[in-house]
Amino acid sequence: MKRLAVFASGSGSNFEAIAEGCKSGVIAAEVALCVCDKAGAYVIQRAEKFGIPTLVFNPKDFGTKREFEKMIANRMDAENIDLVCLAGYMRIIGDELLERYGGKIINIHPALLPAFPGAHAIKDAFEYGVKVYGVTIHEVDATLDGGKIISQVAVPYEGDDIDELEAMIHRAEHKLYVETINKIIG
């Protein structure tokens, strides 16, 4: 059984979709660790609900990104992590994690990359006035949302309600993340 680590900074609805997929057997893997860089983030409660161990840290307690990434990578080594799934982790992955887990880290982004990279993709695409939105899952490298694309799904939307749009995109994310993890772990 493959062992996943899921990194998140906020609500964790993608975390929950992955954890639920594993619990119900739709994904033949186990979420072995939830890594969170924000105390009090809702994802921590979701992880506790599933009985999944959490590694919660404050980056400010460390001198450099390399130092906190060393701590994360050491814990992932101890947990025998096979695949790292970023799910709303609001930091760029640094050299330490890329050196030790490069090629095993994937990210989900709520737009059709290479369009609308960055932290406000849904709002940026909405304000641009696109008619086809979407979701991308890609390999993580040193660039911002720039690694090799693994999977994408389009979300056509011509309405003017950004909340409705966000809900549609999140539903598409949850489905695509589960399908893509399954393909990767084979």
Distance between CA atoms of residues 133 and 169, nearest Å: 8
- Taking the complex as a whole, how short is the minimal distance between the CB of residue 74 and ligand GRF, in angstroms? 25
Distance between CA atoms of residues 40 and 31, nearest Å: 20
109 in catalytic set: yes
Token reading at 16:
């929950």
Q: Is 12 in the site for ligand GRF (CB under 6 A)?
A: yes
Beta carbon nearer to ligand GRF, 67 or 127: 127
User: Within 10 A of 127 (CB to CB), how many other CB atoms are there?
Assistant: 10
Phi, psi for 182 (deg, rounded to 5): -60, -40
Q: Among residue numbers 78 through 107, which ones bind ligand GRF (CB under 6 A)? A: 87-88
- Taking the complex as a whole, how short is the minimal distance between the CB of residue 78 and ligand GRF, in angstroms? 25
Q: Is 13 in the site for ligand GRF (CB under 6 A)?
A: yes
Distance between CA atoms of residues 110 and 108, nearest Å: 7
| Contacts with ligand GRF, residue ranges (CB under 6 A) | 8, 10-15, 87-88, 108-110, 173
Catalytic positions, please? 109
